Structure 1
Amino acid sequence: MDEFTNNEHILGNRLLNIYQSMTEWIKQKRTQFPLSSHEESRDNLLAYLYVKEMMSHDLIQAIEEEGLSSIYGHESHIISSIELLLRRLQAPAFQDIDIRKITRQQAKQLIAERARTVLGEGRRSRRTRIMVTLDEQLIDEPEVMEQLLLHGMDVARINCAHGSPEIWKKIIEGVRQAEERLQKKQQWEKRCRIYMDLPGPKVRVDSIVSNTYPVKLSVRKDEYGQPIQPVTGFLYLHTPLSFPSEQSDVSFVLEVATNESITMVSGDELVFIDVRGRKRRLKVIDVIAPSCFKVELSNTAYIQKGIWFKHKRFSLLLQSVTPIPMKAIVKKGTRLQIYFDRTHFGAAKMDDAVKLTTTLPKALRNVRVGHRLYFNDGKIFAMIQNVTNKYIEAKVISTGRKNKMIKKGMGINLPDSLMHLTVSSLTDRDLQYIPFICKYADMIGLSFVHTPHDVAKLYRILTEQGAPHLTIIAKIETRAALHNLTRILMEGLTLPSFGVMIARGDLAIEVGFENMSIVQHDILALCQAAHVPVIWATQVLENLAKKGVPARAEISDVSLGQKAQCVMLNKGPYIVEAVKMLANVLEKEESHPQKRAKMIARYMDQQGVFR
């Protein structure tokens, strides 16, 4: 900083040189990013990138020590801010250059307009919208849907990685019916937006088996310890070629063996002694096929291979038990074998390793020894130990303070394995869902976007479907997306309606938890410079939504999220309470300065100083 010696003349000349070279650079870059509209956002984004790259820390510090504002906090109007600095420093030969610039107030209005286009109208009491993830349980809870709308839900999110079009349609109908009921009561005026996430190339656990025994088959009980309803499952007389699709009333699959010729009908019972010595009964409730039966268990049992099921005419020996959804307990040191195909998986010999397949085997092509492997947003951490032509072998390094469960449908992250080189961001499954989304949704989330070409491809498909108006939300959750973020934003500026979601779950795995704070701040800054609305997502008030009690750090996270135009909540049994809390915090953060000052004084008025 000695080179500036606090001299305004030197400081002004240095800043003027940066400004002049910046404007020339922007003119050159315009040909790379041609736009028919939103030129002011393009030029401002380019200016922010140039200034961030070229202004040294010493220069920024010298500007601040002169009592002037630096570039921080001025991302949305950086060109105007630099021109204002130059005037105050009385820079020589200063003149406005013909580039598209925008003032602070104009930038604020522009972001607000685009937020209305993308997210719908805000509320009278707050500008920041609230997005809530909905699931099929809410189909049968119309009162909860009404409470979500009344207390703050502005956008309803449906994650298309789960459920089916039939379920999604019922959820959307539930939202619209709740709005109609509230309108009749004169309690609702606006329209809740529907946002649907494409599943994208998310790698998930498909099938899983382990030698973890015994397996607990739990029957729900009331507060007095009495069974409420039986658990049901399938019993096979041979190894099933495939497990049944997930059904809400199926909790297990049993494979049994016998040398006898058997027949069973509904009502037949199989008596057995579980590993604790408790007498239990399986009751046949349906005959699916001569070798497949649907059975129910009325009391909790612990079972394992080798247990005998006794019918009045024959006996069956248990060969295997598989919980539904399939799951396995892992701890530090557990061996994992991830198979490339179901043939080798089915032929694998049982040992101490947990064996599994994935929903996207080709995503594993670039996996190498030493690469990191995460399950469930980082709750389970493993390292790749070996790669064969049949499977990848890994070793669990950490599960936190407790053993953890790996189960069917759980997300997998391989941050070192360059998945974007082998997997397109738009999968065949995505393409199947797009027509439904075009018909019923207002916004579509592009999961695992890597490049601007992914955004352009989705827009072309939407146009072919007759839905070019549909808002595209680019979910930033990979390192490739971070490196291409400027170009993704530029592509978004060519669209009728575009926004960005900071999907912090997968992104934190990609960049490392320790770097997440810096990365999310920079994403926000780039989006502010481009005047693109942002959705702040993942684990916001998660403890409150799931357990009913907020963690202290969650409230601070909400304050950071208020810099975005929308904050997303995930599902949970206490989701209404989470919406109320989020709305309350956002309203206080956005309240009028005088009202805010009074509220702060209530808790922070310093006694014995002014009176």
Structure 2
Amino acid sequence: MKDADLKHLKVLYQELVDLREDIILQGNEIISRWSENVEDQDTLYSIQNLAYYMAFRKNDLRALQSKLQRYGLSSLGRLESRVIENLDTILVSIANILASDTSFKYPSKESFYRGQQILEKNTDCIIGPQPADRYSRIMVTLPTQAATDKYLIHSLIQNGTDVVRINCAHDDSVIWKKMIDNVKKANESLNKNCKIAMDIAGPKIRTNRLLTTLKDVKINTGDLLFLTGEQYLTDFYSIPLVVDCTVPEIVKHIKVNDPVHIDDGHIKGIVEEVKPEGVVIRITHCFRQGGVRLKCERGLNFPKLDYKTDILTEKDRADLDFVCQHADIIGISFVKDNQDIQEIQDEINTRLHPKRKNDVSLMIKIETLEIIDVLPSVILKAMTQNKICVMIARGDLAIEVGYERLSELQEEIQWICEAAHIPVIWATQVLENLVKTGIPTRAEMSDITLGSKSECIMLNKGDYLNDAVILLNDVLARFSKHQYKKDPKLRALGIAGNMWNN
């Protein structure tokens, strides 16, 4: 080896030593906050690794990666589940190249893959055992007809569904119980263990009542809409369309120039005026030329609104009485901070039978702007008391953060969760066209490959739900041969062999 290369490697070695020391110093500050009452050794290791990963990712490491790649060393791009072990491996390898002594040692095989094994164990426990031919599990949102159509649930589970999801924003406990009974019957018949996830609705802000002088309640770009928090509706300020919402107290916190998104962003507007009774909204975008028909119970998002609603509504608390008796996974919507997690944990703990406390997991849905900046601490708060998984709820999240930011955020969330060894559920509009029309789009197929890096992919309800499960099962089985998380699997390519056969 040339003297210049030896010199470069010595400098690189010291750079990595300094980085490692800094990671441990800063990471230990976080670990000391969260590990005090943690007895489970795997959970403690996950807390440590997440803390070290966040300290590691505070740095811009792109130049360091290029230096490592030049010498055939790990580029640090796949160390999420094993931060210190990965760094130690590189340091020992450089020392061996330099033929110099080092205090670092290669981790044992067990130590090196411990984080990955904890993640797989947590996934098996929370979402269900790994199918024989694919890594990612399949979650399916049940439609109302699943309460009466036994064949539907039987076929969904038979075709590869690993978890069924019941959305408590719809139907009621009588319907939910019938769905659950049908799942249990199908499990027994098929000798399966399909898990049951139940999402409590949370403080979703929706349109409530409409008052209009229009014959056809269509809204178009340039139109005015009045949003009020008043109990009684009237034609405020002669605006032809007046609407109130399910959380009326938020209206007084809305400001001029605040953006407003309606119906998953199909309608967008901006607040032009603030009045005593509400706000005047100018519509700036409609997804369909000719206008969009505004209806009740459509989602409302205020990305810049500085107001915190209670994480649980009275309906949620009532629903939890049922959910805590029947769910394997309890989904929590619109979490914003650790205070929300604590409130949820307290409410659940008062309802769970002691025998069920180790059997029920929390599913934290990532769908607010506020949770993004505090996601690692929210994960740490939750995992010290519960088994947890994370759902990337891309619908509301896209509206809150913007579609441009979503494209990178969805991967960043996956990386952070892998560092914490907790499973991720990839959700919202997966194979939506196939589920609704029976025909997939090309973009949907590409979306599956991104989702396959997660431990579970969720399908929503639609007429062709079973077809979507069959296709998703097949594609995931194929892609599992190509990639695990960030790691490509270099199986022999038939295309490559054809060059010699021809």
Q: Above 0.5 in TM-score?
A: yes
* Distance (Å, rounded) in 2 between the aligned partners of 1:77 and 1:112: 14
C-alpha displacement of 1:26:
2.6
Choose the corresponding residue for 1:58, options 57, 63, 66.
Answer: 63
Moved more, 458-467 or 429-438: 458-467
Distance change (3 Å), C-alpha of 1:592 and 1:25: closer
Residue aligning to 1:578: 468
Instruction: Confirm or deny: 8 A CA contact 1:201 1:448 kept in the other structure.
Output: yes
CA distance in structure 1 between the partners assigned to 2:491 and 2:336 by the alignment: 46
Q: CA deviation at 1:119?
A: 0.8
8 Å CA contact 1:373, 1:415 repeated in 2: yes
Counterpart of 1:190 in structure 2 is 192
Identify which of 35, 39, 52 aligns with 1:36: 39
Q: Which residue of 1 aligns with 2:206?
A: 204
Structure 2 counterpart of 1:143: 151
Q: What does residue 433 of structure 1 align with?
A: 319
Q: Find the residue that maps to 1:18 and give its secondary structure.
A: helix
Please name the residue that 1:414 is paired with.
Answer: 302
1:69 paired with 2:74, answer: yes
User: Is 1:171 aligned to 2:171, yes or no?
Assistant: no
Instruction: Extract unaligned runs of 5+ from structure 2.
Output: 484-488
Deviation of 1:342 after TM superposition, in Å, equals 2.4
Measure how far apart 1:492 and its partner are: 2.5
Q: Does 1:9 align with 2:14?
A: no
Report what 1:513 is aligned to: 403
CA distance in 1, matches of 2:102, 2:295: 64
SS at match of 1:22: helix
Q: Which residue of 2 aligns with 1:23?
A: 24
Aligned letter for 2:414?
Answer: L
Report SS of the residue matched to 2:57: helix
Structure 1 CA distance for aligned equivalents of residues 225 and 423 of structure 2: 41
Work out whether 1:554 is the aligned partner of 2:444: yes
Asked if structure 1 preserves the Cα contact closer than 8 Å seen for 2:225 and 2:239, the reply is no
Equivalent position SS for 1:116: helix
In the TM superposition, what whole-angstrom CA distance separates every residue of 1:141-172 from its partner, at most 9, and x where no partner exists? 22222211111111111111122222222222
| TM-fit CA distance, 1:498 | 1.0
Is the alpha carbon distance of 1:349 and 1:107 closer, same or farther for their aligned partners in structure 2, counting shifts above 3 Å?
Answer: closer
Partner of 1:316: none
Specify the SS of the correspondent of 1:473: strand
Query: Which residue number in structure 1 is paired with residue 132 of structure 2?
Result: 124
Contact 1:125-1:587 within 8 A present in 2 as well: yes
For residues 238-264 of structure 1, the C-alpha deviation after alignment (integer angstroms, 9 at most, x for no partner) is: xxxxxxxxxxxxxxxxxxxxxxxxxxx
Question: Counterparts of 1:459 and 1:608 in 2: how far apart (Å)?
Answer: 59
Q: How far off is 1:89 after superposition? A: 1.6
Partner AA of 1:170 in structure 2: K
| DSSP-derived class of the 1:535 partner | strand
Q: Secondary structure at the match of 1:125?
A: coil
1:590 aligned to 2:477? no
Alpha-carbon displacement from aligned partner over 1:103-133 (angstroms, at most 9, x marks no partner):
4422221111101111122322223111111
Task: Count matched residues.
Answer: 481
5 Å-filtered alignment, 1:71-470, equals 71-90=76-95, 94-96=102-104, 103-180=111-188, 183=189, 188-213=190-215, 328-343=217-232, 345=233, 347-348=234-235, 351=238, 353-402=240-289, 403-420=291-308, 423-467=309-353, 468-469=357-358, 470=360
**For the residues of structure 2 that align with 1:85 and 1:341, how far apart are their CA atoms?**
64
What's the counterpart of residue 306 of structure 1?
A: none
Amino acid at match of 1:124: A
Cα distance in 1, alignment partners of residues 54 and 173 from structure 2 = 42
Task: Look at both structures and tell me which one has the larger radius of gyration over its CA atoms.
Answer: 1
SS at match of 2:429: coil
Structure 1 unaligned spans of 5+? 215-327
Contact between 1:334 and 1:353, CA under 8 Å: does it hold in 2? no
Q: Note the alpha carbon deviations across 1:433-470, whole angstroms, 9 max, x for none.
A: 11100111111111011112322222222221134332
Q: Distance in 2 between matches of 1:441 and 1:81?
A: 38
Match of 1:485 among 342, 364, 375: 375
C-alpha deviation, 1:565, in angstroms: 0.8
Structure 1 contact 538–570 (Cα < 8 Å) conserved: yes
Deviation for aligned residue 1:349: 5.6
Q: Percent identity?
A: 30
Residues in 2 aligned to 1:546 and 1:196: alpha-carbon distance in whole angstroms: 22
Q: CA deviation at 1:25?
A: 2.4
Give the match's secondary structure for 2:334: coil
Greater per-residue helix proportion: 2
Q: Distance in 1 between matches of 2:112 and 2:313?
A: 41
Structure 1 residue 193, shift from structure 2 partner: 1.0
- Rounded to whole Å, the distance in 1 between the matches of 2:254 and 2:199 is 27
* Alpha-carbon distance, 1:6 to partner: 8.1
Go from structure 1 to structure 2 and tell me whether the alpha carbon gap of 1:474 and 1:4 turns closer, same or farther (over 3 Å shift).
Answer: farther
Residues 204-232 of structure 1, C-alpha deviations (whole Å, 9 max, x = no match): 11111323325xxxxxxxxxxxxxxxxxx
Task: State the match for 1:266 in structure 2.
Answer: none
Q: CA deviation at 1:419?
A: 3.4
Tell me the distance in 2 between the aligned counterparts of 1:89 and 1:100.
18
Could you say what secondary structure the match of 1:591 adopts? coil
Q: Is 2:61 the counterpart of 1:46?
A: no
1:81 and 1:353 map into 2 onto residues whose CA distance is 63
